[in-house]
Amino acid sequence: MKRVCILTGGSSGIGKATAELLAQNGYTVYELSRGGSDADHIRHITADVTDAPQIRAAVSQVLGEQGQIDLLVCNAGFGISGAVEFTDPSDAYAQLNVNFFGALHCIQAVLPSMRAQKKGHIVLVSSVAAPIAIPFQAFYSATKSATNALMFSLRNEVKPFGVKVCAVMPGDVKTGFTAARKKSLAGGDVYGSALEHAVAVMEHDEQNGMPPSLVAKAIVHAANEKNPRALRTVGAQYKIFVALAKFLPVSWTNALVGMIYK
């Protein structure tokens, strides 16, 4: 019997590449997003991850059609940038609502069936921006740090039920994520060119980043592992950055990041 996957945010970028690779690896893939359509071997269900009843309905549909869910990939997300001081709280709430609570809604919807079948994998798409906070992108980093914390707690909670939980942390990836980012230059008169320069560096790195297919391979590898490692960094140079962040004093790491985006 084919393994069944629900994947969020699969209409483009990392999500689309992952959905296609999972289908090629024999999964029955259901892609959940607000806008999308059926593709070869991929079923689309229109659902907003911030709407818990919609997610529960989508999960019920999949269970009704397939009888099981073997893999959940929480990928839906977006970015905002701007100075912490001048960020509209409603934008920060929206960032957390999609990137963090959207994943929570999906996890809570699939766990009852995974516990009942005593197996399942949950893969959360995090970011190197979680362990290495980026200036003028504080709320994106915060959502990914929260995602990692959620993963670690959940990993221990559901281990007795045979459910495996892990997170994949990509570095810069060349996708439409950059163009979709909501940018605020409010406070530019206070922070000067630092704000614009930091965002420019970030966007340059993204547009020269790794292809989404590389991240997709890491996600599929994690999904197929019997005992996946808790955190998997994607990208050779980012593995070095994350390793250094573990061993250097926190203040040193933070100062180095500040220099990169200065």
- pLDDT (tens digit per residue) in 44-81: 999 999 999 999 999 999 999 999 999 999 999 988 88
The lowest-confidence range among 50-54, 83-87, 179-183 is 179-183
Number of domains comprising the chain: 1
Q: What pLDDT shows up at residue 179?
A: 66
What confidence category does residue 258 fall into, taking pLDDT thresholds of 50, 70 and 90? confident
Q: What is the mean pLDDT of residues 187-205?
A: 76
* CB atoms inside a 10 Å sphere around CB 243: 11
Q: What pLDDT shows up at residue 36?
A: 72
Pairing status of strand 231-234 against strand 80-81: unpaired
* CB atoms inside a 10 Å sphere around CB 102: 25
Domain range for 63 is 4-260
Q: What pLDDT shows up at residue 186?
A: 80
Considering all CA atoms of the chain, what is the largest pairwise distance in Å, rounded to the nearest integer? 60
What are 220-255's pLDDT values in tens digits?
Answer: 999 999 999 999 999 888 898 898 888 888 898 888
pLDDT over 70, % of the chain: 97
Can you give the CATH number for the domain in which 49 is found?
Answer: 3.40.50.720
Pairing status of strand 120-125 against strand 163-170: parallel
Residues acting as catalytic residues: 11, 126, 140, 144
pTM of this structure: 0.93
